[in-house]
Amino acid sequence: MSDHALRLLREQPHLAELAAFPFNFDLARADHGEAVRLASGGPLEAVAGDDTGGTYFVCGDGSVLYADSEGSAGIIGNSVDEALEVLVGLPGWHDHLGLAPADGEEKIRAAVAETEEEIREYHEIDDERTELRAGLGLPERSSVELVGLLHAALLRTEPDFLLLNAEEGGAHALLDRHPRPPLWETVLARGRTDLTLLREGSAWDEVAGDRARRALALRAAQFDRREGDLPLLRHLLRHEAEASMTDELRLAAVLVGLHGQAEDLPLLYEVRETDFDTWCGLGGMPEPGADPAELRRWARDLDDSLFGTDPADEPLFTWTGLAHEQGLVELARAALIRRLDDIDFRAYCDARDGKAMEGRHACQLSPLVHEFEQMGDTFQALRAQRLHVPLQTRAWDRVSALLRLARLEREEGRLGAAIGTLSSLRDTLAEPDGGNGDGDSSLGHWQRTNLGAYIVEEHYAVARTAATDTALADEVRAVTVAAGELLARLSGTARANVERHLAGTTDIRTDTRTDIDADTDADPGAGVSAEPTPPQPSAG
C-alpha cells in the first residue's frame, strides 16, 4: 500500500499536469460536490477528480475508491500507485469495467486496442504514458494484467467500501456489474466446513459449544440433508436448547423429527419443556409414546412452512443475523442498506403514482429498524423508521411508531426533529382518529400501560438531552411542560414507577401535578411497571 506516486504528483507540477491530461487524474478536482461517507464509518479522503465529475478517494487501508457523478462507486486499486497504473495503462478504463480475466487474452487486448485508437483520434497518449510511468516509477504492465488488477479491485468494493450519500443515507450503485456470490453463500461457508468436521467425527464439542458455529452448522445441515446426520443433529439440538427459543432450535427439532425415530420423542419433549418460550415455540410436538409417523408429519409441516432445502428461499434477515453473529458486520450492513434502498425507491415510485406501498415491502421495515439497531447503526434505523411511521393506521401503532422515531432522532442528535415528532405523538393521543371520526379506541387506556410510561420517559429524555441547546430553549420548555402533563395522566402505579426511574435524572415537580387515578386498587393498570431501562415498544 503506497502513496509514493501521489506524493510525487503533489511535489512535481509537471507530472500532475500529465496525470490530469490525458489521464484524467486531476488533483485540482478533488471536490466531489456532495457529502459522502463509507457505510462502515471508515476514513475517506478525496485526492483527485476527473472532467466528468468523478472523484478519487483514498480509504483507510490505502485502497482507491472512484465515485462517478451518476451515483456509482467502486474500488479501482489497492493503493494510489496501483490505481494510477490502471489509469495510465488503461486510459479508457471506464469502457473496460465489464472485462474480466475469464474473457481471455485475445478479447481483452482487442477491446483495449479499439478504445485506445478512438482516444488517439483526439489526442496523443503514448509518449505521455511513457513519461508519466517513468516519472512516477510505475511498472509497465500488459493490458491483460491491468484488467486483472482492475477486476480484482472492483470485486472488493462491497461490503467494506460501500459509499453512501452522507445526508440521505442511500448507497451508491456498484461501478461494475460483475456477478457476486449471494449473501447466503458467503455466510454459510464456515457452517459447511463445520458440518464436514462433524460428519468426520471431529470438533463436536467445539462446534456445538459455540453459538455462532452451531447455528451455521445447523443451517448447513438444513440444505445438505443426509441419513447419517441424526447423531450429530441430536448433539446440536441438546446444546441449542441452552440458548432457549431460537429459529435454529426449531430447525434442529425439525431435522431430528424428520428422521421419524420413536427414541427421539423423549429428547424432543425434554427440549420443549426447557422453559416457557421453548414450550410455546415447539407447540404441537407429539409427546413420548406417540406414533413416529406423527412426529414425521409434525416435522414435515414445520419444514414446509418455515424452512425447506433452498438457501435462496430463506429471508434476508436469516442471513444478515447469522452474518452479524459471525462478526461479518459490514456484510450484513451492506445487504440491509441495499434492501432499505430498494424499499425507499419503491415507496417513492408508489407515492408518485398515488399508490400505497406493497405489504411485502412495508412488513420489512420494522425488522430493518431492529437489525440496524442491533448493529448500532442508528442512522439507517432512523431512515427505515421514517418510512414505517406513515404506514401505521391504528392510533396505538402510530403512537408506538412515533415514539420509536423520537428516540432514534434523539440518539442521532436530531433534537429539533425529535421534539417535532413528540408533538405529533401528543396530537395523536389527543385525537386518535385524526379527526376522521372512525372511532379508533386502541389508545383508550394508554395511561395504564407501559406505552404511557415510555412516552413520558422519552419526553423527559429529549428535554434533558436538548437542555444545553440555547436555540431550542423554548421547545425544551414546551416538552418539559408536556412531560409533566402526561405524567399526571398516568395511572397511580405507572406514574410512581416512572418517577422512581426518573429520580435523580430530571426535575419532576410533583406540586404541579393533578391528583388523578388516586384509587389504584381499581386501576386496571396497577402493577404495570416501567422498567429501569425499558425496551422500546415494537413499531408494528
Structure confidence by residue, pLDDT tens digits, 219-275: 999 999 999 999 999 999 999 999 889 999 999 999 999 999 999 999 999 999 999
> What is residue 537's predicted lDDT score, i.e. its pLDDT?
40
> What is residue 493's predicted lDDT score, i.e. its pLDDT?
87
Place of cell 452479524: 324
Q: How many CB atoms lie within 10 A of CB 336?
A: 26
Residue 503 burial (10 A CB sphere; 0-12, 13-18, 19+):
exposed
Q: What is this structure's pTM?
A: 0.89
Q: Which three cell numbers stand for residue 352?
A: 408518485
> What is residue 494's predicted lDDT score, i.e. its pLDDT?
87
Render 291-302 in DSSP notation, one character per residue.
Answer: -HHHHHHHHHHH
Instruction: Give phi and psi for 357, each to the nearest 5.
Output: -65, 140
- Helix 395-411 to helix 450-465 angle, to the nearest 10 degrees? 30
Pick from 162, 486, 220: nearest CA to 339: 162
> What is residue 2's predicted lDDT score, i.e. its pLDDT?
62
Which parts of the chain register pLDDT below 50? Answer: 1, 508-540
Q: Are 399 and 444 in contact (CB under 8 A)?
A: no
Instruction: Give phi and psi for 270, each to the nearest 5.
Output: -60, -40
Pick from 415, 416, 376, 385: nearest CA to 403: 385
Instruction: Give phi and psi for 56, each to the nearest 5.
Output: -105, 125
> What is residue 314's predicted lDDT score, i.e. its pLDDT?
96
> What is residue 259's predicted lDDT score, i.e. its pLDDT?
97
Q: How far is CA 488 from CA 248, 454, 467, 483, 508, in A?
A: 45, 14, 22, 9, 10
Residues 311-353: tens digit of each pLDDT: 999 999 999 999 999 999 999 999 999 999 999 999 999 999 9
